Amino acid sequence: MQMAKSEATRRRMLLAEETRCPENIRLLQEAVALRLDAARQLGYKTHAEFVLEENMAKTPDSVLEFEKDLRQRLDVLADSEITEIEQLKQADKKAANETYTGLYNWDFRYYSNLVKERKHKVNEERVKQYFSVEPVTRGILDIYQDILKLRFDKVENPPVWHPDVTMYEVWEADNSAFLGHIYLDLFPRQGKYGHACVNPIQNGSENSDGSRVYPVAAILANFPKPTSTTPALLTHDDVITLLHEMGHLLHHICIQTKWAHFGLDSVQHDFIECPSQLFENWGWEPSVLQKFAAHYKTGERIPKELVAQLVAAKNEGAGLFNLRQVFFGMFDMAIHNTEDANIDVEATYKALREQITRFSGGSGPGCGAATFGHMMGGYDAGYYGYLWAKSFSADMYATRFTKDGITNARTGMDYRREILCPGGSIDASVGLERFLGRAPSSAAFLESIGVANSQ
C-alpha cells in the first residue's frame, strides 16, 4: 500500500482488505451484546467497567480522560502533517490533470511514506542490507545479556517443530542459575500465525520442595526468508519488532513467582506491553546499532549518516500515527463502555475513524472492524493499553536508562527486580513507582514524539 503510486490501485487494495470476512461484523456485534449481558449479571453497568477494575486504569473514566487528552495534544502535530500530505496529493492530482477531492484512508500509508522519503532520504532497501537476521538476533540478545545480566546459549540439534526454529537456554550471567528456554520461530510458512507475537509455553513456578519449574516461551514472527543469493534481511521496523517481542520473551523468562498463575498472561493488560515497548528504544540508539548492523556482503558497519537519517525520521508522522492508535482505543471503548447492547459496530467504526484519524473512508462498503482481531483476541476494553503502556515505558527509559546510561547493568537489575520479576503478582503501578522513585508521568512520552515542542 505504501508504495502504490496509483490512487485507484490503493483504493482497490484497501477495499479488498476491508471487505474480507464480512460475517465477522455480525459475530463482533453478538460478542459485544454477550459481554454486556455478562457484565450486568455481575453487577457492572458496562463490559469496560468489569474489565478495567483489575487493570491499572481501574475505571472507564480514566481511560477516556487519557485518550481525550492525548487526542487533543496529537491534533496539534497532525495539523501540520496533514498539510504536508495534502500538498503532495494536490500536486499529484494537478500533474495528472485530475480533481483533488480530499484525503482518504487508502492515502495514509503511501503519502506518509513519501513524506519520510523526501524529507529524510531514508531508503529502506539500502537500510535492509545492514540488517541480516543472524547478526541482528545475536546483537539483540547481547543487549539483553548486558543489561539484564543474562546469558543465552544456543542449543545445537534442538528438539523443535520446524527446521527454521532455533532454541536457547537462558542462564544467569554468573552461571548461578538456569532460568528457562526460549524458541525463535522467525520465518513464515504455510498455516503459521501471520503476525508477530510471543507464546508462553510453560510458566515458571515453585515446587513444594523449593525446586523450580522453568518457564518456556517462543517468538513467532514472519520476517523475510533467506534466498539462494541473500541472507534474511530485515527492515529497521523488523528490527524494532524483534526487540519488542524479545522484551515479551524475556519478561516471561525473568518472572520469579511461586505460583504459575502469576506468569506473563496475568500481567495487567494495560501494562503488559510496557516492558516490550521499553526495549524498542535501543533500536534507535546509534551506539547500539553500530555494534550489530553490518552490510551482509562487505561486513561494513552501518554508516553514521544512515543511522542519523533513521533517527531523524523516527517521529515523522507521529501525530497521525498515534491518532490512529487513539482511534482504535476509542472505538474499543465506544462498543464496550456502553449500556446499549445494540450499538452499531460498523457505523461506530467508520464514524470514529473519520473523526479522529482525519482521513475519509469514502463511499465504499468496507469495514475494518471485521478484521480488527484485537476485539476478539483478549484486548476488548483494553486496546488503550498500547499507548497507556507506551507512556510508562518512555518514562522509565528517560528517567532511569537515559540518565544512568543505556547499558547500565545496575539500572537493568533494578528494572528486572521491580518490573519483570513480579509478573502478575502485584499491581504494576507498585513496581513502576519503586523503579522510578515517584508516580509515573506521560511527559517523557509526549516529549519523545515532539508534542511538548508543538504546544
Of 167, 207, 198, the closest CA to residue 183 belongs to 167
- Count of other CB atoms within 10 angstroms of residue 171: 17
Q: Which cell is 159 given? A: 528438539
Distance CA 25, CA 394 (A): 35
Measure the CA–CA gap between 179 and 28, rounded to whole angstroms: 40
Query: By the 8 A CB rule, do 232 and 187 touch?
Result: yes
Residue bearing cell 522510578: 436
Task: Report the distance separating Cα 279 and Cα 289, nearest Å.
Answer: 13
**Catalytic residue status for 245:** yes
199 closest CA partner among 232, 165, 240? 165
Contact, 283 vs 311, CB < 8 A? no
Gap between the Cα atoms of 313 and 173, Å rounded: 36
DSSP state of 421: T
Say if residues 311 and 286 touch (Cβ distance below 8 Å): yes
DSSP helix/strand/coil, 167: strand
Q: Which of 245, 280, 316, 346 is catalytic?
A: 245
Cα angle 106, 112, 114; round to 5: 105
Q: Which residue has the cell 514472519?
A: 222
DSSP three-state, residue 218: strand
* Residue among 142, 232, 153 at smallest CA distance from 187: 232
Per-residue HEC secondary structure of 281-345 comes to HHHHCHHHHHHHCECCCCCCECCHHHHHHHHHHCCCCHHHHHHHHHHHHHHHHHHHCCCCCCCCH
Query: Helices (DSSP H) in 96-177: which residue ranges?
Result: 108-120, 124-128, 133-148
Determine the distance from the C-alpha atom of residue 10 to the mean position of all C-alpha atoms in its chain, rounded to a whole number: 25
Burial class (CB in 10 A: 0-12, 13-18, 19+), 188: middle
Reduced to 3 states, what is the DSSP secondary structure of residue 168?
strand
User: Phi and psi dihedrals of 142, rounded to 5?
Assistant: -65, -35
Kindly list the catalytic residues.
Answer: 245
